[in-house]
Amino acid sequence: MYYRNNKLIIPETINELHQTVLKNPHYVFFAGGTYLMKRHSLYPSTSSQRIISLEMIKDLFEVTRNLKHVEVGSMVTTNKLLEIGTLAFNNLLLDTLSNTATHIVRNQITIGGALATNNIRFSLPGTLSCMDASVELIDLSKTKIISKIIPIEKLYKNDELLLEEGTLIKKIIIPLKTYNFERFYCVGDPIKDPTSTVIFAFRANINQTLLNNIKLSITFPTAGIHISTVIPSELDGVQIPIIPKNAISISKKLVIELEKNMTGVTPLQKERAKRIIQSILYQITPSKKFIDKIE
Ligand SMILES: Cc1cc2nc3c(=O)[nH]c(=O)nc-3n(C[C@H](O)[C@H](O)[C@H](O)COP(=O)(O)OP(=O)(O)OC[C@H]3O[C@@H](n4cnc5c(N)ncnc54)[C@H](O)[C@@H]3O)c2cc1C
């Protein structure tokens, strides 16, 4: 274990991290630092919190794959995941990662850090929830380490992060399911203009002219993530293509759902959400293979 100074501690194993957390119950984990470095109150000084860097813990950089899942350590960077992803993942995740910041910043942003920002939600949690991913959390605040696996969406309640002090995101478990229709949209800039930005992650299966397995996660950076129940119930088993009149009616129902369930969504965000869902619905058409067969 290294101590750069009495504010910055660098454990090398999960056990050392556990001991560090037990001795320093008020700390902040430092992953890639892209979010923390904007907050000057956290820079090492006599008044700042203890910083526990995760940079030397090898277990957190591991990536493993079996037939059903890819397990990604929380210190894997977004660029690394993008590299691995071209072999394993679908377009929804790849589009999300390639639309995140610039190449240089993506070398810093870690998966754990992108999920654990306190008061702002970026694009990765919504996409991972749309892919039915889960996280392994380890509670380091007790003498025995306790581990549990929960779906990504259970990490948040509206705009709140539910990660308790002493808990580390160890890894993310991503199922290798495929869907033949997926869309990622980020309208606006989540960093410069979070209150007008809307981020959509949508997936469905098109089976000849029927839709099923539908999921939509909408992220409003300052208001939180909304998993729509209206969209799957309106679209499940529906014949495609969807005529414009129906698409407009479904988009209005989505806005009513947002108004009922989310606080802090601005009028511009609602209008954007309405237009993005309409655009997605117009794009859902029978696959070319199916059209070729009936012609
Ligand atoms: C210029 C710029 C552009 C950006 N553009 C985008 C964008 O387009 N889309 C987007 O989605 N995001 C974007 N981001 C945001 C980025 O995703 C966040 O800054 C994210 O927090 C980065 O992760 P990090 O590894 O740098 O986290 P850090 O800054 O190190 O940590 C962030 C928070 O997570 C906690 N934490 C970190 N790892 C763990 C863990 N394993 N377990 C528990 N808690 C942990 C830390 O304690 C801290 O509170 C951008 C950021 C910058 C600086």
Q: In terms of CATH architecture, what is 58-175?
A: 2-Layer Sandwich (3.30)
User: Contact at 8 Å (CB) between 100 and 109?
Assistant: yes
What are the contacts of 162-165 at 24+ separation with CB within 8 A?
Answer: 163/116, 163/137, 164/139, 165/25, 165/26, 165/141
Ligand 1 pocket check for 112: Cβ under 6 Å: yes
Ligand 1 center from residue 84 Cα (angstroms): 20
**pLDDT reported for residue 289:** 59
CA distance 281 to 287: 14
Which residue from 109, 111, 137 has its CB within 8 A of the most atoms of ligand 1, so it is best to mutate? Answer: 109
Tell me the C-alpha distance between 17 and 21, whole Å: 6
- The residue whose C-alpha atom lies closest to atom 48 belonging to ligand 1 is 117
> Alpha carbon of 48 to those of 44, 79, 140: distances in Å?
6, 30, 21
Least confident of 28-37, 73-82, 225-234: 28-37
Using the predicted structure, report yes or no on whether residue 160 has a pLDDT greater than 80.
yes
Sheet of 181-187: strand order equals 181-187, 198-207, 210-220, 224-227
Q: What percent of the chain has pLDDT over 70?
A: 92
Strands 181-187 and 27-30: unpaired
- 202 C-alpha vs ligand 1 centroid, how far in Å? 23
The pTM (predicted TM-score) of the whole model is: 0.93
User: Distance between the two ends of the chain, CA-based, in angstroms?
Assistant: 68
pLDDT tens-digit profile of 228-270?
999 999 999 898 999 999 999 999 999 999 999 999 999 999 9
Please check whether the domain covering 181-290 is classified as CATH 3.50.50.60: no
Closest approach atom of ligand 1 to CA 110? 25
Which has the higher per-residue pLDDT, 176 or 44?
A: 176
CB 227 within 8 A of CB 216: yes
pLDDT tens string 86-139: 777 889 999 999 999 999 999 999 999 999 998 899 999 999 999 999 999 999
Q: What percent of the chain has pLDDT over 90?
A: 79
Q: Phi-psi region for residue 18, left (φ > 0), alpha (ψ -120 to 50) or beta?
A: alpha
- The predicted structure's pLDDT at residue 36: 81
Q: Where are the domains positioned within the chain?
A: 2-53, 58-175, 181-290
Please tell me the predicted confidence (pLDDT) of residue 49: 76
Q: What pLDDT score does 5 carry? A: 64
